[in-house]
Structure 1
């Protein structure tokens, strides 16, 4: 039963287009939808008996309704998908907001390039640089893309080096060259750093490169041919030969392109496949007539969202959309909001005209959408469909394998998790060098894979250097003390209330900072985060692994006993003979005998993977901390008068903190913005 206030609000809705949002009692968004007629659409949810269906389950949770009236259905569609991306409702098809596409950047703009006089020193700003770039674009430089992957950008940069010989070096390297580098020797650069090419000739190469990236390769060839003949007519055979070689390189590049067309410059190909409760949208990009590669996307909330969508279709008296069309339209609507659009979309399934109209309105130009192409476009689509099929098959195979490994671990240790998909493992390791810069790591495994965004490092202080047992005691106490306290404060709570209380109280008690690492595949410098900001467990894990034997397990058992936590979840990973992987034995805190699972055990391989990841994460953090301590890196940030810009100039000039520490006062004073007095202060701080 719904409250009279909610039903009165539904009855008072206008018959206008808009967007509606359903909330549950906790304020969580359940569903975001759009409607031509808000009153008719929303009323249908509350006037029909949905029984025990999924949609009935959702309607039964609704306690709050919010609506927004808009001028047209196209506006409603854009607003709906903006809200879906922001709120991530459970009953909407949701694609992860992953639009951090890389670009190819050419520095400077033609209007702002300085004029270099003949004989003057080469200025970096007069010779634009081609570079890989990821981030927001601006008007100071020229950007080409987006590209589907970093590999595609780097391949394009190599092409520009081979054909147009543009520089890729940093401005600081450029400004300090006295002779040409290796790239000049292998004919990948024209040597502008030492004035081996005039700014005017280099700028012509830049313009040709830009035209090539826009797909005007034939016009570039014609211009090069005209310039070659002009030099030949003036008997300037050396210059003519250079242009001939450039034409040959460009012709070779064009010949190697497996996909090229004269008519389609910028096109996106979208193919969708659904199988086994999973879906894949494969996006292939054509830019400048060149196939740059593709990227696969996998939506979440597929099953629940499709049921609600079918209900909405029925209420609108339109044909029920196949799930493939629902997924494709959800991807297009969410993916292209706020990003540059190509002139045409080629899709494996039809999309509604209202969606294309909304995209065209956003882009300010007409966007074409074709789902039954011919000729070259048909070949592109078939390629994208095949890739979507292969990517989905790979995902299903990986998920099956991952679930099998988790099931093997649960069975081997005789565990009984509530749900296999939520089975959670946390693993701890200690790392230091002869007691110096001791750090503990905690890595997390759940949903059948490592969750590197939940990894945490703990700086260990106040112990005898090298005492691994005391370090383990400290990190386990800091990790689980507040969680245990939350459980004691709510003894009569229901399980759901206990979990909620634990999540609210899940904060670290330690004063030492916690360090979070960027994802392992693109490892960055460690970033400090607020203590307790997601660093502690939201619930007690199903399994706590410690890297060590009986000693470490005994220490963990003492901590858990003091906190009143379940001892059966603690397992130590004791290294076998020769510390070889596959020979480890498992040590239990609850008194069970040691277990050797066997070299071929899938459960042992998973444990070894988690343990090795904890060790990797701990040792990389320890080394970074040790380096900061030894060279005074943290002191550089604390020196009064040395802000972010001056610090960046110092690091850039001397190649890092070690270089700054090795520099003399006179050398430091030569850096822009560093006075003699500040240079002396920096030198004193680092020595």
Structure 2
């Protein structure tokens, strides 16, 4: 009753809401355009997702904060999540270990890599996701400009009293000797200003300046100096070329995209300056509730922009997101802008594939759980298909009809549970009737023996084989207890009972790959059994044609001689020793007459 009153008195304003349990522990923080509508939606509908149901059951108290705009709500939500880390909120990875480039606040500033951001007025650029990228950029700067590496206090007084002497860096040409006043502070700061632009991705000014210097040295006949500048231009151009160039007109833009499965989402971020990607990062987000891609992308955009200190006024995304009034959201449809969003999506997909390969090795349980959830969703099942059985028929020109049942548990073959079936009640090549027989026999036996039933049955075939299988399930009373689908070979159509229109899964889908593996394994197992049976029949049929020779005699001969050919070539005495004189005479006479 108290919760109902709290919901009814919520304002129709943008803001942030907080759910608490009976012990006063914060469970969840969320944002809303309309607080009253958003909070009420949690209590007014039945949630399919189990964790959302559990969250709603635990809510004992609701608090809210009203803000002026949706942008304020986004930022406040992000800050509260980071502060309280509620159990049911998505938590993005912290950035404490990322490297930064620091331009130290001092006379003759040093430039170096650091992982600690100190609020002392120094400039910090980053964070970068790769130490290698930072080192490559610092190496480039070192090649282009002569900067000091010492940590001397180069105050005017210290230089005036000649407190320091030039070191080895000056003598080998890596420093201009600011410690002895051999380089002015103004000249040094010009280089720092150019370096700032390079770090930000703006190479244009530096290239123009170097080209002017090169021409000047050349005109003054100082060809060695001109050559040095030319090498610097080549270095800078080469570094710029390594950045993915999009379009020079696209500048100061952030690009975001998201790729999701049932349990995790992957958000890719590109920073574009002067038409080149100067920064790229992908975050993995573990879902807590049944969050949509839109919700997760909005949360990730705010967090990642804060983490990387982005001040871009425009972002490119694959679909509409609500980020308030201060950020321009563009959803490109054509051209270079669309291609850069597609590239971002591709990077997110590659990152996801790499993570899945790693997880499969280091955390197989998580891998299995994810695939089972994905199959449940893709195949529209009510439960995860932990136990799947697949049936396939095999006959050649109607002879030796057999069927096979293969079993997968947790997405992998369980070969000890495979079963062969010789068709008993069907005459001739009738796939439908054969499927009806083996499905009935399989599940009648499981019921009689009290064994576990599968969550999913896969029938190798289309609507005909599926309908035949359903007849058996109806007779056994299992129609509503086990999900069943048929998969047709030609276009990999998946058929459902009572639905004439097939479903097509994405060709790259893991769910489809497991179903194909099931079908192929059932086909292999069925064909192997069929070949063995046909081979055995072809071997024994010849001996069965001999009058007075029964099955037991044939078995004794085959055990001893191993093949029909050896029996036909054996001496009278050898055969007599196995089956006796009278039967040996019949067998030897048969092969003599056959040779005539």
In the superposition, the TM-score normalised over structure 2's length comes to 0.52
1:225 has 2:211 as partner: yes
Q: Which has the larger radius of gyration?
A: 2
User: For 2:231 and 2:35, how far apart are their aligned partners in 1?
Assistant: 66
The answer to whether the 8 Å contact 1:94/1:330 transfers is no
**Cα distance, 1:190 vs. partner?**
4.7
User: For 1:349 and 1:225, how far apart are their aligned partners in 2?
Assistant: 40
**Cα distance, 1:162 vs. partner?**
1.3
User: For 1:11 and 1:356, how far apart are their aligned partners in 2?
Assistant: 26
The answer to whether the 8 Å contact 1:278/1:392 transfers is no
User: For 1:288 and 1:166, how far apart are their aligned partners in 2?
Assistant: 26
Partner of 2:302: 333
1:285 has 2:266 as partner: no
1:210 has 2:178 as partner: no
Partner of 1:180: 168
Deviations 1:524-569 (A, max 9, x none): xxxxxxxxxxxxxxxxxxxxxxxxxxxxxxxxxxxxxxxxxxxxxx
Q: 1:171 to 1:57 in 2, by over 3 A?
A: same
User: For 2:110 and 2:246, how far apart are their aligned partners in 1?
Assistant: 27
The answer to whether the 8 Å contact 1:280/1:296 transfers is yes
User: For 2:347 and 2:176, how far apart are their aligned partners in 1?
Assistant: 40
After the TM superposition, which residues 168-567 of structure 1 pair with which residues of structure 2 at under 5 Å, given as runs?
168-171=149-152, 178-181=166-169, 185=172, 189-190=175-176, 192=178, 199-230=185-216, 240=226, 242-259=228-245, 261-287=247-273, 289-300=275-286, 302=287, 304-306=289-291, 323-337=292-306, 340-343=309-312, 346-352=315-321, 354-357=322-325, 360=326, 367-372=327-332, 374-404=334-364
The answer to whether the 8 Å contact 1:107/1:128 transfers is yes
Backbone CA RMSD of aligned residues = 3.8
Q: 1:200 to 1:276 in 2, by over 3 A?
A: same
2:121 aligns to what SS in structure 1? coil
Partner of 2:500: none
**Cα distance, 1:159 vs. partner?**
0.7
Partner of 2:104: 107
The answer to whether the 8 Å contact 1:23/1:62 transfers is yes
The answer to whether the 8 Å contact 2:248/2:276 transfers is no
**Cα distance, 1:331 vs. partner?**
0.8
Deviations 1:377-432 (A, max 9, x none): 4443333322211221222233232234999xxxxxxxxxxxxxxxxxxxxxxxxx
1:355 aligns to what SS in structure 2? coil
The answer to whether the 8 Å contact 1:108/1:140 transfers is yes
User: For 2:48 and 2:122, how far apart are their aligned partners in 1?
Assistant: 59
**Cα distance, 1:72 vs. partner?**
3.1
Partner of 1:165: 146
Partner of 2:111: 130
Partner of 1:20: 17
Q: Structure 1 unaligned segments of length 5 or more: list them.
A: 110-124, 307-322, 361-366, 408-687
In the superposition, the TM-score normalised over structure 1's length comes to 0.46
**Cα distance, 1:161 vs. partner?**
1.0
Deviations 1:282-337 (A, max 9, x none): 2233356543442221112x15242xxxxxxxxxxxxxxxx332321221133334
1:142 has 2:123 as partner: yes
1:70 has 2:67 as partner: yes
Q: 1:16 to 1:137 in 2, by over 3 A?
A: same
1:90 has 2:59 as partner: no
2:363 aligns to what SS in structure 1? helix
**Cα distance, 1:342 vs. partner?**
4.0
**Cα distance, 1:212 vs. partner?**
2.9
Q: 1:130 to 1:355 in 2, by over 3 A?
A: same
2:168 aligns to what SS in structure 1? coil
Deviations 1:600-651 (A, max 9, x none): xxxxxxxxxxxxxxxxxxxxxxxxxxxxxxxxxxxxxxxxxxxxxxxxxxxx
User: For 2:314 and 2:34, how far apart are their aligned partners in 1?
Assistant: 29
